[in-house]
Amino acid sequence: MAIPFDQILIQTVNGLVNGMILALVASGLTLIFGIMDVVNFAHGDLVMLGAFVGATTIAATGSFWLAFLVAALVIAVFGAALQASTLRPLLGRDPLTTILATFGISLVLQKYALWQWGPSARKIQEPITGQFAMFYLEYPWYRVATAFFAGAIIGAFWLFLKYGRYGIWIRATMQDRIMASAMGIPVPLVHTAVFAIGAAMAAASGVLFGPLGGVTQTMGFDFTLRAFIVVVVGGMGNLGGSILAAIFISLLEAYASIIVSPSQAVIVSFMALILTLLFRPTGLFVPTPSSSGACWRCRRTS
Amino acid sequence: MAERWRDEPWATDLWWSGKTTRRRVLGLGATAAGALGATLLVPPPWRAAFGQARPYKIGTMQPLSGPTAAGGKTALVGTQMAVERINRTGGVNGRPIELVIADYESKPDVGRRKAEKFVSEDRIDAHQGGFMSNVCLACMPVWEEHKIVNMIGVCLDTTITTTRCSRYTFRPFDYAPAQAVAFAPYLVNKLGKRWHIAYQDYAFGQSARDAYVAEIKRAGGEVVGGTGIPLGTADMTPFLSKISGNFDGLFGVFAAKDAVTVATQAYDLGLTKKYRWAGDGSIAESTNLPAIGSKIEGFIGQNRYLPVFEGPLNTSYHRRFFDEAVAALKKIDPTGPTPDRFVQSNFESMNFLKLGIQKSGFQGRQDSAKLIAALEGLEVKESDDFPQGDKSIRREDHQAFIRQFIFEMRGGKHRIIEVVPREKTVFPAACKFA
C-alpha cells in the first residue's frame, strides 16, 4: 500500500507540534516526580488553571504575552502554596497517599474552575494569525510557533538546570537528597521551588494550547493521560528522556494515523507504554541498571 | 538504609504534625454534625407557600462534572427555571415540585447507579432531564423496570424513540431524523450535492450521521465520506487534516466543548473556506460563540431554538423566556451567555410533565399509567410554557415534532434564513412498545 507523501509530511508536522506541547507539560510532571517522588495527577488541572488565568488576563488587557507571563507567575505561586500546604506533609509516605491526594486536588480544581469561570468555554486569541499552504491544507502559523515557544522554554530551563546555581541545587537534590541536605542545600525549599516551576510550565502550555481549542475546566485531562505515558516511556524523573519520549510518541501516533483512524492510532502509544514497562521499565531513554552499574534511584532508596 | 522522611526535622516541624488528637477529631465531628442538623431544620423554599402539601418529587440527572459539564449546567438552568415558575404560580394540582438533582459525571455507569438511587432511596415520582444520549439509553431500562415516567430534556439519539423505545420515555423535542428531513433539502439544493460528515463518535453523532446520510441521499445528494472523532478530543487536527477530496460541503455534528474545538481547528486548517461549512446547530450554540469568536462566520446550521427575536421567535412569550433565562444563566456563568437549545428543551420538557400531571390527576409513581395516557398525543400551543412554538407528542413512539430554524452566522449572530414548519419535519414512527 503506497503512503501519500503529502500525508507523511502533514502528519510529521502534526506530530512535532503536538510533541513539543506535550514535552512542555511532561517536563514539569517528570521534574516533580524526579525530585519528590510525587505522581502528580493534578498536573493537567494546573494546565487548565493556567489557561483560565491567561484567558482572564487577555480579556482584561488584550495582551497574549502579558497573559502568558501572568498565568505562569500566578500558577507558580499557587503551585508553591499547594506543595507547602498539601503535598509536603505527605512526602515519604506510601506513594498511594500522594496519588490519592493529587487526584483529590484535581477534582477540587475542576470544580473550582467550573464555579469561578462558569460552564462556557473561554477564548484565548492567538498572537500570530495567518496560514501557509501545505498541500491541500492551509496550516496555521500559530501551531508551528507553539512548537518553537515550547522548545525555547524547555531549552531555557535546561540551561538553567545545567549552569544556574539553583539549577545545580535542583540536580543535586534529584540525585541524592540526603547528601544535598548535608551540603547545605535547603531541600524543602528546592522541593517547593521545583513544584512551582513545574506548575508554571504547565500554565505556560495551557496558555499556548488555549487558542487551539478553547479553554474549559476539563481540558487538562487529555494532557495528564498523555503526559504520564510520556513520562513512563521516557523514564520517570528523566527530563531529557521525557522530551524525547514526547516527540517519539507524538510522531508514532501521527504516522499510525496515516494508516488507521487517529482514534485507533492512540493505541500505539499505549503499546509503547506496555512494551516499555515489560522490557525497559526504567524508560527508553535512560541507561539500564545493568549497563551503568547502578542507577541513582537504587542508591537513593537502599 | 531506607529513607525516613517523617523523621527529618523539616518534615516533622510542620504546624499540623502530631496534633490531630482524638479529642480534636471528636470536637470537629460534633460541630459538623450540629451544622448539618441545623440546615435540616431550615424548611425548603416552597414550604411557606404550600404548607404541608406533599411535593411531587421529580428527579433530574445532568452531567454536572466531566467533559459535558458545561452543557449539563446550562441544561439544568432550564429545568430549574420551569420548576421555580411552577412553584411560584401555585404548583401542580396544589402541590409543589421538589427537584432532586443528581450529577452523573458524564459517565453512563454512574448515570445508571444514580437512576437506581433515585428509584430506591429518593423515591422520585417521575424523572425529567438527561443530556448525553448514551446515559439516557443506559438509564431507560431502570425507568421501565420501576414504571417511572422519563421526560427527556436533551438526548438526541434516534433509537431512544425508535428501536429502543419505551412506553415510559418521552422526547418532547426533535430528533436527528426530523432535523435531517428539515435540513437536507436546503443542503442539497442550496449548498451542494456532495458532502463529507465529521461527527462526534458516540450515540448522538452517529445517529445524526445516519439520519443525514439517508436524507441527503433522498434529497438527491450524496455523502462521500465520514470522519468520527471521539468525545472530548482536545486536538482534532490529526482527524481534520485527513479530510480532503472532491466534495462540496463539510457537515459537522458536534456539541459542547467539542463543537468549540472543531469550529476553531477546521477554520485554522482552511477547511471552512475550501468547503461550504454547515452542520447541527449545536456547533453554534450561543454558549459556544464567545470561545469560537469570528471563526464561525458563514456557518450554516439548523436548530430548534435560536436566541434571536426574528420571524416566529419575535413573540412576547419568547422575550419573557429569554430575559428570565439570561438572568438565570448569569448566576452560573459570569460571561452572561444567552440561552441555548438545552435551556429551552429542558424548560419545555418540565412544562410537558406539569401538563401531563394536571391532566391525569397523577398523585405519584403508582399513577404512571395515567400520566402516560395523558401525555400520549398531547398537543400544546405556543405560550409562556412553550416559547419555542406549537408541538405535539406522537402516540406511537412518544416523539415530538416541532418547527426548525435554518440559520447563518453573520457578525457573530444567528440570522434565520428559513423556517421549516413542524408538519414538514415528520418522520415515520419506527417503535414497537414492549
ipTM: 0.88
Using the Cβ of A190 and the Cβ atoms of chain B, whether some distance falls under 8 Å is answered with: no
Among partner residues A120, A123, A257, which is closest to B333 by beta-carbon distance? A120
**What is the tally of structural domains in chain A?**
1
Closest chain B C-alpha to A214 CA, distance in angstroms: 6
| CB contact (8 A) between residue A137 and residue B269 | yes
Minimal Cβ distance to B5: which of A91, A131, A222: A91
Residue A46 pLDDT greater than 80, yes or no: yes
- pLDDT at residue B25, rounded to an integer: 67
pLDDT of A302 reads 38
Mean pLDDT, residues B49-72 taken together: 86
Contacts of A209 in chain B (CB under 8 A): 234
pLDDT digits (tens, 9 = 90+) for B371-407: 999 999 999 999 999 999 999 999 999 999 999 999 9
Q: Does A18 touch chain B (CB under 8 A)?
A: yes
pLDDT in tens, B406-430: 999 999 999 999 999 999 999 999 9
Does residue B351 share a domain with residue B244? Answer: no
Distance from CA of B272 to the nearest CA of A (A): 11
- Beta-strand ranges (E) seen in A53-156 are 131-134, 137-140
At A21 the pLDDT is 92
Q: Are residues B85 and B158 in the same domain?
A: yes
CATH number for position B336: 3.40.50.2300
Least trusted range by pLDDT, from A55-59, A206-210, A225-229, B312-316: A225-229
Domain that holds residue B272: 177-303
Question: Contact, B241 vs A14, CB < 8 A?
Answer: yes
B8 found inside a domain: no
Specify the pLDDT at position B65: 84
Asked whether residue B327 carries a pLDDT value surpassing 90, the answer given is yes
User: Which of B417, B415, B413, B406 has its CA nearest to residue B294?
Assistant: B413
Does the beta carbon of A98 lie under 8 angstroms from any beta carbon of chain B?
no
> Is B321 inside a domain boundary?
yes
Contacts of A4 in chain B (CB under 8 A): none
If you average pLDDT over residues A124-129, what whole number do you get?
Answer: 94
Q: Do A137 and B292 touch (CB under 8 A)?
A: no
Per the structure, the count of domains in chain B is 2
Domain boundary among B254, B275, B303: B303
Domain residues for A287? 5-301
Q: Say if residue B2's pLDDT is above 60.
A: no
Residues of B in contact with A219 (CB under 8 A): 234, 257
pLDDT exceeds 60 at position B192: yes
Contact B5 A93 (CB under 8 A): yes
Residues of A in contact with B3 (CB under 8 A): 92, 177-178, 300-301
Mean pLDDT of A113-123: 89
Same-domain check for residues B293 and B350: no
Q: Quick check: is B144 in a domain?
A: yes
The CA distance from B246 to A81, in Å, is: 55
What integer pLDDT is reported at residue A35 of this predicted model? 87
Chain B interface includes A128 (CB < 8 A): no
Q: What's the CA gap between B326 and B100, in Å, rounded? A: 23
Residue B26 is assigned to a structural domain of this protein: no
The grid coordinates of residue B365 equal 409513581
Interface of A with B in 45-84 (CB under 8 A): none
What residue type is assigned to position A273 of the chain? L
B11 contacts in chain A (CB < 8 Å): 88-89, 91-92
> Would you place residue A34 in the very low, low, confident or very high pLDDT band (cuts 50, 70, 90)?
confident
Do B319 and B309 touch, CB atoms closer than 8 A? yes
| pLDDT tens column, B267-280 | 999 999 999 999 99
Same domain, B76 and B128: yes
The predicted pLDDT at position A242 comes to: 93
Distance of CA A33 to the CA centre of its chain: 12
Instruction: List the single range of A10-14, B63-67, B134-138, B316-320 with lowest mean pLDDT.
Output: B63-67
Model confidence at B58: pLDDT above 70: yes
Query: Do both B272 and B330 map to the same domain?
Result: no
**CB < 8 Å from B in window 201-220 of A:** 209, 211-219
Q: CB of A47 within 8 A of CB of A25?
A: yes
Q: Do A137 and B270 lie within an 8 Å CB cutoff?
A: yes
Compute the nearest-CA separation of B93 from chain A (Å): 35
Whether residue B182 sits in one domain with residue B291: yes
The set of cell numbers assigned to B385 is 410554557
Q: What is the mean pLDDT of residues B32-38?
A: 70
Say yes or no to pLDDT of B11 above 70.
no
What is residue B408's DSSP assignment?
A: E
- The predicted model gives B20-37 an average pLDDT of 71
User: Do B296 and B359 share a domain, yes or no?
Assistant: no
**Number of other CB atoms surrounding residue B88 within 10 Å:** 11
Query: Residue B283 falls within a domain, yes or no?
Result: yes
Of A225-229, A287-291, B288-292, B374-378, which gets the smallest average pLDDT?
A: A287-291
For the segment A66-75, what is each residue's pLDDT rounded down to a tens digit?
A: 999 999 999 9
Contact A257 B233 (CB under 8 A): no
What is the residue-wise DSSP string for B270-333? THHHHSEEEEEGGGG-TTTHHHHGGGGTT-EEEES--S--SGGG-SHHHHHHHHHHHHHHHHH-
A3 vs A249, more confident: A249
How much is the average pLDDT of A183-203? Answer: 96
Q: Among candidates A190, A136, A200, which has minimal Cα distance to A161?
A: A190
pLDDT class of B366 with cuts at 50, 70, 90: very high
Q: Which of A195, A167, A47 is nearest to B234 (CA)?
A: A47
Write down the pLDDT at residue B393: 96
Average pLDDT for A294-298: 48
| Residues B328 and B396 placed together within one structural domain of the fold | yes
Question: Does one domain contain both B187 and B334?
Answer: no
Question: Which of A27-41, A253-267, A275-289, B315-329 tops mean pLDDT?
Answer: B315-329
β-strand partners of B401: B392
Higher pLDDT, A84 or A95: A84
In angstroms, the CA A280 to CA A277 distance is 6
pLDDT given at position A274? 94
Is the C-alpha dihedral spanning B275, B276, B280, B281 positive or negative? positive
- Asked if residue B394 and residue B321 are part of one domain, the reply reads yes
Q: Are B86 and B97 in contact (CB under 8 A)?
A: yes
Whole-number percent of chain B with pLDDT over 70: 90
Q: What is the mean pLDDT of residues B37-42?
A: 61
Q: Per the domain annotation, does B320 fall within a domain?
A: yes
Confidence of residue A147 (pLDDT cuts 50, 70, 90): very high
> Considering chain A, what is the average pLDDT of its residues?
91
Q: What pLDDT score does A94 carry? A: 87
When CB atoms are compared, the residue of A7, A136, A218 closest to B69 is: A218
Q: Give the pLDDT score at A293.
A: 46
Q: Comparing B2 with B321, which gets the higher pLDDT?
A: B321
Per-residue pLDDT, B256: 86
CATH number at residue A207: 1.10.3470
Closest CA–CA distance from residue A20 to any residue of chain B (Å): 14
In angstroms, the separation between the Cα of residue A24 and the nearest Cα of chain B is: 16
Domain annotation covers residue B161: yes
In this structure, are B255 and B318 located in the same domain?
no
Nearest CA of chain B to the CA of A124: how many Å?
Answer: 8
Residues B136, B58: Cα–Cα separation, whole Å: 16
**Phi and psi, residue B332, nearest 5°:** -105, -15
Is a pLDDT exceeding 70 seen at residue B14?
A: no
In a domain, B11, yes or no: no
State the Cα–Cα distance between residues B21 and B19, nearest whole angstrom.
6
Tell me: do B278 and B259 sit in the same domain.
yes
Query: What is the pLDDT, as a whole number, of residue A128?
Result: 95
